[in-house]
């Protein structure tokens, strides 16, 4: 997807801090339904955070520790064809062909196509499943034929 105004590439210092923070948070994830954190500053009252949100935060920090910029996309968001193509790591013309052949649903806003992020996730999962099945079939066939792979 295109760079957003709120997307910041972490500095080396940010990446190092994210690395240590992600390790500390990962250690408490999965221990109960929520975690209580105390933030230092003007407001030091314990903050209760649901474990699923903590897991997302650990993933964000892990990505930052690797120097990757991270963006959060709501599940029900609608993307432009360029944003959708960037998400799937394909060209925009290839994505348009997927849309026009019905492999991914879309709607038109005037003359522009909009793609639901949830539909992109479904398509990606479907293609990953098909790829895994094909790989398993090829592996079984090569073993059956004694090709030594």
How high is the pLDDT of residue 30? 66
CATH 1.10.10-classified regions of the chain = 78-144
Q: What is the DSSP letter of 116?
A: E
Task: Round to whole Å and give the CA distance between 139 and 79.
Answer: 37
How high is the pLDDT of residue 2? 45
Q: Domain 78-144 adopts which CATH fold?
A: Arc Repressor Mutant, subunit A (1.10.10)
Q: Which residues contact 106 (CB under 8 A, 6 or more apart)?
A: 99, 113, 114, 115, 116, 119
How high is the pLDDT of residue 1? 46
Q: Which residues contact 17 (CB under 8 A, 6 or more apart)?
A: none
Tokens 């992109």 appear where? 120
> Considering only CA atoms, which of 15, 1, 8 is closest in space to residue 69?
8
Read off the tokens for 31.
Answer: 């221990």
For 100-127, write each residue's pLDDT tens digit: 999 999 999 999 999 999 999 999 999 9
Break the chain down into helix, strand, coil percent, rounded to 5: 50, 10, 35
- Residue 143 phi, psi dihedral angles, 5° rounding: -70, -40
Q: Reduce the DSSP state of residue 37 to 3 states and report it.
A: strand
For 46-71, write each residue's pLDDT tens digit: 877 888 888 899 999 999 999 988 88
Task: Round to whole Å and give the CA distance between 136 and 141.
Answer: 9
Q: What's the pTM value of the predicted model, to 2 decimals?
A: 0.66
Query: Regarding predicted confidence, which is higher, 97 or 40?
Result: 97
């Amino acid at each position: 997807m295109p760079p957003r105004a709120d997307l910041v590439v972490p500095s080396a210092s940010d990446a190092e801090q994210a690395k240590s923070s992600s390790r500390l948070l990962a250690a408490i994830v999965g221990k109960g339904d929520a975690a209580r954190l105390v933030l230092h500053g003007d407001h030091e009252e314990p903050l209760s955070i649901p474990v699923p949100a903590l897991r997302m935060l650990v993933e964000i920090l892990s990505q930052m520790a690797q120097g990757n910029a991270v963006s959060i996309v709501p599940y029900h968001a609608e993307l432009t064809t360029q944003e959708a193509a960037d998400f799937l790591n394909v060209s925009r013309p290839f994505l348009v062909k997927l849309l026009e052949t019905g492999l991914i649903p879309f709607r038109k806003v005037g003359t522009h196509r909009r793609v639901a992020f949830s539909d992109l996730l479904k398509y990606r999962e479907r293609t990953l499943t098909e790829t895994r099945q094909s790989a398993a079939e090829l592996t079984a066939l090569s073993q059956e034929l004694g090709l030594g792979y």
